[in-house]
């Protein structure tokens, strides 16, 4: 048996095996890391309806100037008779784009239902997007007195 040749082979192969083993261990424990997704903060905007001259027609309810931003909705009942208040949830960074002064901006499209004299809010959507996005958080309509 030629021991000199096997010693040379072992001296040559052993470092290569050790290097391959070290690289394999390094890859095994590093793996792919998933990036951390940060959730954008949301803001809730509340609006109350002021009926001009007691007008609850669909056109008046859809008119953004008749809705005023407030700290909280002032309606305690939820009946589908007359518009009263609604809240929308939007990304905090975009909050101002949903306001035009103290009224909803053109981005907030107010959807209504009801009769020609008693309309109420059914939904609020961002109609500026190619696919309208539902912004509705809460809707409170009041019972017609």
Q: What distance in Å separates the CA atoms of residue 65 and residue 44, rounded to the nearest whole number?
A: 19
Q: What φ, ψ does residue 97 adopt, rounded to 5°?
A: -75, -10
145 confidence band (pLDDT: 50, 70, 90): very low
Would you kindly state where each structural domain of the chain is located, as residue ranges?
Answer: 42-142
30 confidence band (pLDDT: 50, 70, 90): low
Q: What distance in Å separates the CA atoms of residue 61 and residue 43, rounded to the nearest whole number?
A: 23
Look at residue 5 in the predicted model and tell me its pLDDT: 61
Closest CA to 102 of 133, 71, 132, 75: 71
Percent residues over pLDDT 70 in the chain: 78
Look at residue 61 in the predicted model and tell me its pLDDT: 92
The model's pTM is: 0.67
Summarize the confidence of residues 108-132 as an average pLDDT: 87
Would the pLDDT of 32 be above 90? no
Q: What distance in Å separates the CA atoms of residue 111 and residue 64, rounded to the nearest whole number?
A: 11
Percent residues over pLDDT 90 in the chain: 23
Would the pLDDT of 9 be above 80? no
């Amino acid at each position: 048996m030629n021991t000199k040749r096997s010693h040379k082979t072992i001296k040559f192969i052993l470092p290569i095996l050790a290097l391959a083993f070290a690289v394999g261990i390094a890859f095994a424990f590093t793996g792919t890391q998933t990036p951390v997704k940060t959730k954008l903060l949301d803001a809730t905007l509340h609006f109350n309806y002021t009926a001009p001259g007691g007008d609850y027609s669909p056109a008046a309810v859809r008119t953004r100037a008749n809705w005023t931003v407030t700290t909280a909705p002032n309606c305690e009942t939820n009946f589908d008779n007359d518009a009263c208040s609604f809240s929308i949830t939007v990304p905090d960074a975009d909050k101002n784009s949903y306001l035009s002064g103290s009224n909803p901006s053109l981005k907030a499209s107010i959807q209504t239902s009801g009769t020609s004299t008693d309309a109420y809010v059914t939904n609020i959507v961002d109609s500026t997007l190619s696919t309208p996005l539902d912004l509705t958080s809460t809707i409170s309509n009041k019972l017609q007195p």
